[in-house]
Amino acid sequence: MRVTYLGPAVVGIDHPAVAEMDRRKFTPSCFLVEISEEAHPGGPLMEGDVLVVDEARSLGHADLVVAEIEGEYRLFKSHRAGSRCRLLPPNGGQGYFVNAQQFKGVVVRQARCWAV
């Protein structure tokens, strides 16, 4: 699932989903991405959700992670198999083994803006 890079989490990003976030709680290694229209409606991840990604956090089993594949930032769920970790798309499909340069970080928080 594609995600759009919004910028560092410590900088004021003008997005309704993060208006209530206390950015002082995030380290300088955190950045924000927005979920694309590829997300399934009504699922745990929806179009427009903003994710806080920590590029300093180590990859573990069953983490939501962001990696750069073919020039695009994409969201995956990690699956550790021995010493390697395969990244699987949250909506199903082909997985990837990525190198350190492609791995961008682990999702540490999700924010959603509900329409009123």
Quote the number of domains for the chain. Answer: 1
Q: Is residue 116 part of a domain?
A: no
Mean residue pLDDT of the chain comes to 88
Asked if pLDDT for residue 20 goes beyond 90, the answer is: no
Query: Strand locations in 20-113, DSSP E?
Result: 30-35, 50-54, 64-69, 72-81, 84-88, 96-97, 103-111
How much is the pLDDT for 33? 96
Residues 6 or more apart whose Cβ sits within 8 Å of residue 100: none
Domain coverage including residue 44:
3-111
How much is the pLDDT for 56? 96
Question: Residue 19 maps to which CATH number?
Answer: 2.10.109.10
